[in-house]
Structure 1
Amino acid sequence: MSKTRVAVGMSGGVDSSVAALLLQQQGYEVVGVTLRVLPDVDSAFDVENDPSVVRAKMIAEKLGIEHHVANCSDAFTGEVLKRCHADFSHARTPNPCCYCNRFIKFGWMMDYAKSLGAEFLATGHYVRIEEVNGVRRLLRGRDPGKDQSYFLFWVPDERRNHVLTPLGTYVKSEVREIAAQNGFVNAKTGDSQDICFDIYGSQYTEFLKDRFGEMTRPGRFVDEKGKVWNTHDGFHKYTVGQRKGLGVAIGVPAFVKHVDPETGDILVTGDKSSVCFDRVEMVNCEWHGGVREVGTTFRAEGMVRYRQRAVGCEVTIVDTNKAVAVFDEPLFAVTPGQCAVFYDGDMVLGGGQIV
């Protein structure tokens, strides 16, 4: 009887490496896939010597599994980089990880996995996928400090039905211990958070600007009375709720309250409470576990940024694309472009992009 074939997205990090090991131990036929997502800056990319590729290949050889390097730079450029550039251009603060998970990892890479004959795609995400009332649902990972369910809310049900996440029941220290026990070269390496952009050694806003052209324009820092406090050279460098790095001295700590993409002006305030909101509108929504009818209102706990404390709220489905959430208490720095994600306990109900 043939084994079920699973493709594991192997970044070269400890998490995906241990995920591949665990699945192999569970009896799956495992094949490793390392994505090359970013286009070359200087055409000097060497697949044989790229550190992430080398580490992933070493782990694959140790496990005795196939290893493939897949170039999805064109898809990543269109689905992630250009979307982020457009967001910044319209005074939104994008969440590239949510774009990447929906369109690249569980989009492009899943299709690539199928081309290799894989029935499932697995990753090293710290989330659980469990059957609830006969439906595979996304739940928080056991490790509260590493839970990544917020970033995966946008993955459609039909895609998640073909996803395995073996690290969901582990905490990070256990994963590192497993890696060390098995002699993995990456057992003690740091996390590869945001590595897609950090490998260029600069802020990705500047990378996007250099690649696709000017995103924003210079403008002024103004208060609610219209007083000009300073100027800036591009509003893409600032986000709602930001306090540090403004170069604005108004006598009290200043916070960004609003960014106007038409004028380039940034509204600042010394009243932190005025940067807190209890009503959030979302678009591009994705709901899980069955169709939610237009007009439906339900209770949930919501987050408007990663690792924020979940707060009780009432969510109303306005139409197939839009929803509104009213929170039990005001939330600090509700930021256009970021994602609002809703839970029932540990189970993800869905969410959308904040407008």
Structure 2
Amino acid sequence: MEKVLLAMSGGIDSSVAAYLLREKGMAVEGVFFILFDEPANIELAKQTANFLNIKLHIEDLREKFKADVITPFFEGYKKGITPNPCVICNKKIKFPLLKFLAEKVKANYIATGHYARIVRINNIPLLMKGIDPKKDQSYFLYGIERTLLSHIIFPLGEYTKYKIREIAEKVGIPSKVAEESTEVCFLRDKRYYESIRPTKGGPIIEMSTGKIIGQHRGIHLYTIGQRKRLGIASPHPLYVVKIEPSENAVYVDSKEKAFMREFVVNELNWLCDIEKEEFSCQVKIRYAMNPEKATVTLINKDRANVVFEKPQFAPTPGQSAVFYNGDIVLGGGVIKEIMQGF
């Protein structure tokens, strides 16, 4: 019997994943990662493990999570960028630790409750989108080690969220009552800027005229494409189009100025072989968007230039650009620099 170690959050997705793996005849053990104080759903994770008669390991990763995810998250905002903590957590915490613990418990595979798929083509494992377009989470997974793909199972990738809820109800899994996890788990119900100490204010500048039209209370309060909380009276809507830490300035203008075609990414990670230095693909620059056509040109092994066929709204430094060929995730990187053209 093959053994799999599953990350269990106590939520409905990972709990049903445990059930599905067990139904396939696999020996399942779960692990709950304590990432911050008072973690939600830990008791539900224990109840679900007892209900499914699987062993649950508890791993306290608070120090590592703070160092690798929480601190860089807040420091990023202070520098005028918008980090993606889920991508960083998967890359630096969740999957490396699952691999390490799987070796300790002699598990053949690791698994999570992500809506994504591992599909073998010509016996090569590829990361692919989940079949539910509303829940596909492949965007958050591009940063994992390619060598892990042959050891990962995503049990939910072939299901819709509706079907997973249906299974939880039918089986009576305790975690069906769990709250949905939020994108930034460690913030709970807070806004990110409520957890950052006030920093030095500076000018809000209208990009097209160069005029100072207001004062901000810290660049950490802003992200590219933002419209709310500007505190400026204007006859037309204004959007953040640029954040310049060296000037401690926030630039705003009309919505059309927030649409951009070209940017540079770094920290590249590839999940399949890339044979050309320039190639066409589809690119997502945020989770909740459809992939759009673009040309990617490799600058070196760690940097690439991306040019969208059509301008896209608010490419944002710190966020991830993920490259797709249809359903296949090719890889991706972190947006570093925007070529704004004005």
Instruction: Please say whether Structure 1 and Structure 2 have the same fold, judged by a TM-score greater than 0.5.
Output: yes
Q: Per the alignment, in what secondary structure is the counterpart of residue 174 of structure 1?
A: helix
Q: Is 2:224 aligned against 1:248? A: no
Q: Per the alignment, in what secondary structure is the counterpart of residue 315 of structure 1?
A: strand
Q: Is 2:296 aligned against 1:315? A: yes
Q: Which residue of 2 aligns with 1:206?
A: 194
Whose strand fraction is larger, Structure 1's or Structure 2's? 2
**Cα distance in 2 for residues equivalent to 1:75 and 1:109:** 14
- Pick from 22, 28, 42 the counterpart of residue 53 of structure 1: 42
Give 5+ residue unaligned stretches, structure 2.
337-342
Q: Which residue of 2 aligns with 1:352?
A: 333
Q: Is 2:12 aligned against 1:11? A: no
Normalised by the length of structure 2, the TM-score is 0.93
- Pick from 59, 77, 85 the counterpart of residue 88 of structure 1: 77
Q: Which residue of 2 aligns with 1:289?
A: 272
Q: Per the alignment, in what secondary structure is the counterpart of residue 55 of structure 1?
A: helix
Question: Which stretch has the larger CA shift, 139-148 or 70-79?
Answer: 70-79
For residue 77 of structure 1, report the CA deviation from its aligned partner. Answer: 1.1
Paired residues of 2:86 and 2:184 also in contact (CA < 8 A)? no
**Cα distance in 1 for residues equivalent to 2:178 and 2:61:** 25
For residue 229 of structure 1, report the CA deviation from its aligned partner. Answer: 2.0
**Cα distance in 2 for residues equivalent to 1:53 and 1:166:** 21
**Cα distance in 2 for residues equivalent to 1:217 and 1:284:** 30
Q: Per the alignment, in what secondary structure is the counterpart of residue 104 of structure 1?
A: helix
**Cα distance in 1 for residues equivalent to 2:203 and 2:104:** 52
For residue 339 of structure 1, report the CA deviation from its aligned partner. Answer: 0.6
Q: Per the alignment, in what secondary structure is the counterpart of residue 86 of structure 1?
A: helix
2:312 is matched by which residue type in structure 1?
L
Q: Which residue of 2 aligns with 1:299?
A: 280
Identical counterparts, % of pairs: 37
Trace 1:247-286 onto structure 2 (pairs within 5 A): 247-269=231-253, 271-286=254-269
In the alignment of these two chains, the number of paired residues is: 335
1:250 is matched by which residue type in structure 2?
S
**Cα distance in 2 for residues equivalent to 1:118 and 1:204:** 37
Q: Which residue of 2 aligns with 1:29?
A: 27
Trace 1:128-277 onto structure 2 (pairs within 5 A): 128-194=117-183, 196-199=185-188, 201-207=189-195, 209=196, 216-224=199-207, 225-269=209-253, 271-277=254-260
1:338 is matched by which residue type in structure 2?
Q
Q: Is 2:67 aligned against 1:69? A: no
**Cα distance in 1 for residues equivalent to 2:161 and 2:236:** 40
Structure 1's consecutive aligned runs of 4 or more residues displaced over 4 angstroms after TM superposition are none
Paired residues of 1:154 and 1:350 also in contact (CA < 8 A)? yes
Q: Which residue of 2 aligns with 1:331?
A: 312
* RMSD over aligned Cα atoms: 1.6
1:126-151 deviation digits (Å, cap 9, x = unpaired): 00111022211010101100000011
Normalised by the length of structure 1, the TM-score is 0.90
